[in-house]
Amino acid sequence: MMAGNPLAGSGHIAAIDLGGTKILAAIFSPDGVVVSRAKKMTRAERGPEAVVNRMAATVREAALDAGIDPAELKGIGVGAPGPIDVQAGVVRVAPNLGWEQFPLTEQLRERLGLPVFLGNDVSVAVRAEHQVGAGRGTRTMVGIWPGTGVGGGIVVDGVLYSGMAGLAGEIGHMTIKAGGRKCGCGGRGHLEALCSRTAIVKDIARQVKRGAKTELTKIAGDDVGAATSGDLAKARERGDKVVIKALDRAAAYLALGVAGVANLLNPELVVLGGGVVEALGDPFVDYVTELVRKQPLHAATGDLRIAKSELGDDAGISGAALLVRQGTD
C-alpha cells in the first residue's frame, strides 16, 4: 500500500514528544531517518511560556547537533499530552503540565518561525505504530498506552480515527470496574485508575501502608508513589511479590479492557505501548495476551493479534514527524 518510508519527505523536519517530565526532540532527514536528538526537562512548574521556550531550545540543540540551521527545517511536529484542538492548535487541558486552553502551535511558531503541527501524544504514537511500527499493513488496529495515564488510538480502514471533534481514543476513561478505584478525572474504576503506572504504584503504596515489605522502597525510596515504571521492572526482576501481584492485577484489568475493545471494534491487532509496557516488556505483554485469550471474545475471535509497540520510546517522535510529513489529518 505504501511506497517507501512515510517518514521521508522534502527537507529536514523536527519532531517533539512533550511529556510531563521530559521534552524529547529529534531531527528527521529527508529519507526519514533520525539524524540527531536532544532532551531537556520540561519544568512545567515554571509555566507554559517557559516550557515553550525549552521546547524551542531543544529543537535548536537537535538541529545544530545535526549541522542544520533551524530556519531550514520544513516544519515541527509536536505530540502533546491531553485532548488537543487540532484545528486551532490548542492544548485543551493537560493536568500533567497544568495547562488549560494553551495555544501551543501559535506560541511555538512565534519562537521558531516555522510551521507547527500539533497532535495528542498517544494518538500520534499509535499513528506511527500503524504506519511504521507493529501495525504496518493493518486496516483496523487499536493502540493502548498505559503510562502515567492510559491513552489510546484507533485506526479504522487504515486511517487514525478522530471522532466528531478529534477527541477519540480516550480508552483510559472507559469504566472497567463500576464503583472501583477513583480515577484522576473523578470517575471510578476507569481503565486508567486500574492499570496506569499511577494506579499500580498507588496499589503498592496501599500494601506498604498495611505493612507489606517490598523491594520497591529500596529502589525508589520510601515514597513508593513516586516509583517509575523502570523501578517496577527492577522490583519484579528481584522477585518482589508485592510488586508482582500489583502488576498481575493491572495486567488482568488491562486484559479486560483489551477484550472489551476487541468485542466492540473487531480489530486485526491491538498494540500495547507506553511507559509501563516499555519498562515491563514482553513478559507483561505475553501475560496480558494470555489473559485476553481466556476472555469470551465474540467479535474478536482467535484471529485477534496482540503485539508490543515496535517503536518503543520513539513512537512519539515518529508520530510527531508524520504530522509534518502528512499534515494533521
How far apart are the C-alpha atoms of 176 and 172, rounded to whole Å? 10
CB of 46 to a copy of itself, least distance (A): 27
User: Facing residues of 78 across strands?
Assistant: 16, 118
183 binds a copy of itself (CB under 8 A): yes
Phi and psi at 69, nearest 5°, equal -70, 125
Grid coordinates representing 206 are: 496501599
The residue among 73 and 141 lying less far from a copy of itself, judged by its C-beta, is: 141
HSE-up of residue 38 (Cα within 13 Å, Cβ side): 20
Least separation in angstroms between residue 291's CB and a copy of itself is: 12
Beta strand pairing call for 76-80 and 22-28: unpaired
C-alpha dist (Å) from residue 224 to 213, 234, 322: 11, 13, 37
> Which residues, 6 or more positions from 166, have their beta carbon under 8 angstroms from its beta carbon?
84, 85, 86, 87
- Helix or strand run (H / E) with residue 53: helix 48-65
Residues in the chain: 329
For residue 263, the surrounding DSSP H or E stretch is helix 241-265
For position 185 contacting a copy of itself by CB under 8 A, the verdict is yes
Specify the residue, 267 or 273, whose C-beta has the smaller distance to a copy of itself.
267
Binding mask 117-156 for a copy of itself (x = CB under 8 A): ----------------------xx-----------x-x-x
Nearer to a copy of itself, 93 or 208 (CB): 93
Query: In this complex, which beta carbon is closest to a copy of itself, that of residue 247 or of residue 317?
Result: 247
Q: Using CB under 8 A, pick the residue from 137, 163, 221, 283 that binds a copy of itself.
A: 163
H or E segment to which residue 218 belongs? helix 216-220
Considering only residues 69, 100, 282, 303, which one is a binding residue for a copy of itself as defined by CB under 8 A? 303
Residue 298: count of CB within 10 angstroms of its CB = 11
Choose the stretch contacting a copy of itself; rule: CB under 8 A; options: 22-30, 55-63, 124-132, 175-183: 175-183
Query: Would you say 22 or 298 has its CB closer to a copy of itself?
Result: 298
By CB under 8 A, residue 161 contacts a copy of itself: yes
As measured in angstroms, the least distance from the Cβ of 187 to a copy of itself is 5
179 CA to centre of own chain: 26
Which residues ranging from 204 to 243 are in contact with a copy of itself (CB under 8 A)? Answer: none
Is 95 a binder of a copy of itself (CB under 8 A)?
no
Residue 144 contacts residue 289 (beta carbons within 8 Å): no
According to DSSP, residue 182 is labeled B
243-302 binders of a copy of itself (CB under 8 A): 252-253, 256-257, 259-261, 263-268, 295-296, 298-301
Residues at the interface with a copy of itself (CB under 8 A): 83, 139-140, 152, 154, 156-157, 161-171, 173-180, 183, 185-187, 189, 194, 252-253, 256-257, 259-261, 263-268, 295-296, 298-301, 303
